Structure 1
Amino acid sequence: MQWLYSGRITVLWSSEPTNEVDSSYNPTDDLIEQYLFGGRMMDPTFQNAAIKALMDCLSNGYSFPRAGLVRDVYKGTMADSPIRKLLLDIVVNGADQSWDFSALLERAGEEFTKDLIVAFAAKRPKPDCSEILMVKVGGGDDPVEPNVAGENCDKPEHNNESNDSDTDTDSDTDSDVSEERIFHIHKSVLCKTSAFFQNATKPEWTAPTPRPIDLSDELPEIFHLYVQWLYSGKIAVEIMSSSDSDTEVRKHENVDYHSLIQSYILGEKLMDTTFQNAVLQCLIECVEQADCFPGDRTIKTAYKRTIKHSPLRKLLVDFWVWHGDSEGAADDMNLSLGTDFTNDLLKAMLEARPSPDTSAEKVQPPWLTHPEIYSIKGNKKTAKDTSNSGDVAKE
């Protein structure tokens, strides 16, 4: 009667709403009964008002109606009743581990339980049903150097300006023919960040019959690291045992930096800057945590297969600028690290060198303050016999 004259449904609010099912008093119980009463009176306008008041109560912290009333709702309403949908949505979107589901399902009835299972199934995240693509990796010749020739290079053909002996000392798994492997990857995952795969899967490049995307000149184990990153967002890092007999490694390399460098190079071919940036960040974290950084062989590989001004080159140079020492450097750095890296390192060292203290009265270079460091150390007899040989003749 009040609603007929005022257009409002009266709700007795409690100062402390409870979230327990079947509490002593819950205004949502009254609203469920009013909805059922409106059904018997065939007054859908009143029923809609009851549903709106019910949603207001739930938004103010009041709990789910008594399970017995849920059974009454299912007995007194049709299958497509909006009150049924509301009750299901409340459970699917608002229930947590504190709910007593066993009591709720037992008292609410079998029909509500079936509808609830269907509602939860519809809410469950759907698996990725996008097209599955095949990628053939390995089985070909040496990996091709990406983007190292053409307009983006300062010279017609990118190579390390070194002799044949340099090539012999830098042999690694890249020069071996790797075993072919077929990867099956969701198209939506494969094309998410790679411009290479986005272009390769365009309709104009797609064959009438499905064929694997050809990456036969790449290493399967490196592409596997890329696939792991595609699905997990994390770079897998292999920890190796250090070898005291490895004289080519400047420091004991207990992180497989070579695979990380190869991963960066693969990202360059796949035109996936997101992956490349992830690899660079992983390199930085490994250097900081493992207290070691890429060795000579790894650096030479990076320089052979990247272009000038590559962020990877700059990072490797900076590792040496800040962590390198003369004890770890080879006698012939051009041979062990390559001419390009050595030149970049020299320039970076000059830039990082602190300027002389200009606040001093007069700054003298070392050849004036300590000229003895440039003297040839001979035996005493020779030094005595030729003691005046270096004197400047005076007229």
Structure 2
Amino acid sequence: MDALDPIITLKVKNTAGGTDNIHVHQGVLCQSSSFFQNAMKKEWAGSKDKPHVINLPEDCTETVKIYIEWLYSNEIPAKLYMTHKANKSNGEQEAREAEKNFIVLTKAYIFGEKIIDSVFTKEVSEKMQEILATSMGWPTAECVKMIYEWTPSNSPLRRLLTSNLEDTLWEDELNSGILDFLDTYPQQALVDALKAIVGTRPPP
């Protein structure tokens, strides 16, 4: 990182409905995002009144901060919960926390696709896989709806979700209620999961 590198201000929305300013070195911001690389080209930035300010009115502070922290530290912040090793009461609480983490990472992944940073989305996806492998239950309807609303049909995030459903769709004592849970999922998510199951199921 160059100490003389210009500071870029990202204007993002906060939970109160206002705007927060997030500051980042230009070289850091542009290291792997095609969107930010293009936004800082002279022909684009030079045409603005404030060339070192980028407005992101649809993106929240928490999500963008995760991305900026990753740029500087190369780490995705997310606590993993080994719920299958915990007792039932602790496991249920930790599963709820894991679901919150998964939603946060889902928003981060969607932001990564928006700014065209495949390095970031790959690392977020790996963290999401870890959470799915170590947490109890399935992604919430809120999370699945978000994925299907904000990602294209060929998104790797959809494939990750479909693969998880394919591997975990059965009902027993531990998975009781899964059928009712699936009623809350978007139809296309269930169609994709069914296609994956049919595609891997051995013939009778």
Identical counterparts, % of pairs: 30
Relative contact order, higher structure (CA 8 A, sep 6+): 2
Q: In structure 2, how many angstroms separate the alpha carbons of the residues matched to 1:238 and 1:219?
A: 20
TM-score by length of 1: 0.44
Q: In structure 2, how many angstroms separate the alpha carbons of the residues matched to 1:239 and 1:303?
A: 24
Deviations 1:154-206 (A, max 9, x none): xxxxxxxxxxxxxxxxxxxxxx7743110110001000000111111111112
Task: List aligned pairs for 1:304-323, cutoff 5 A.
Answer: 304-323=149-168
Corresponding position of 1:228: 69
Q: Determine if the alignment matches structure 1 residue 271 to structure 2 residue 102.
A: no
TM-score by length of 2: 0.81
1:346 to 175, 191, 194: 194
Task: List aligned pairs for 1:90-169, cutoff 5 A.
Answer: 128-138=3-13
Flag the structure with higher helix content. Answer: 2
Asked if the contact 1:178/1:219 (under 8 Å) is kept, the reply is no
Task: List aligned pairs for 1:65-104, cutoff 5 A.
Answer: none
Task: List aligned pairs for 1:277-316, cutoff 5 A.
Answer: 277-316=122-161
Deviations 1:47-89 (A, max 9, x none): xxxxxxxxxxxxxxxxxxxxxxxxxxxxxxxxxxxxxxxxxxx
The structure number with the bigger radius of gyration is 1
Q: Secondary structure at the match of 1:337?
A: coil
Task: List aligned pairs for 1:358-377, cutoff 5 A.
Answer: none
Corresponding residue pairs, total: 187
| AA matched with 2:27 | S
Unaligned runs of 5+ in 2: none
Asked if the contact 2:95/2:135 (under 8 Å) is kept, the reply is no
1:310 Cα deviation after fit: 1.1
1:339 Cα deviation after fit: 0.8
Question: CA 1:337–1:177 in structure 2 vs 1: closer, same or farther (change >3 Å)?
Answer: farther
Question: CA 1:209–1:286 in structure 2 vs 1: closer, same or farther (change >3 Å)?
Answer: closer
Deviations 1:80-106 (A, max 9, x none): xxxxxxxxxxxxxxxxxxxxxxxxxxx
Q: Determine if the alignment matches structure 1 residue 329 to structure 2 residue 178.
A: yes
1:189 to 20, 28, 35: 28
1:285 Cα deviation after fit: 1.8
Asked if the contact 2:11/2:54 (under 8 Å) is kept, the reply is yes
Q: In structure 1, how many angstroms separate the alpha carbons of the residues matched to 2:77 and 2:70?
A: 8
Flag the structure with higher strand content. Answer: 2
Corresponding position of 1:254: 97
Question: CA 1:332–1:228 in structure 2 vs 1: closer, same or farther (change >3 Å)?
Answer: closer
1:209 Cα deviation after fit: 4.0
Q: In structure 2, how many angstroms separate the alpha carbons of the residues matched to 1:237 and 1:281?
A: 11
1:300 Cα deviation after fit: 1.4
Asked if the contact 1:330/1:336 (under 8 Å) is kept, the reply is no
Task: List aligned pairs for 1:173-184, cutoff 5 A.
Answer: 178-184=17-23
Corresponding position of 1:93: none
Q: In structure 2, how many angstroms separate the alpha carbons of the residues matched to 1:265 and 1:233?
A: 18
Unaligned runs of 5+ in 1: 1-125, 140-175, 357-395
1:198 to 20, 30, 37: 37
1:329 Cα deviation after fit: 2.3
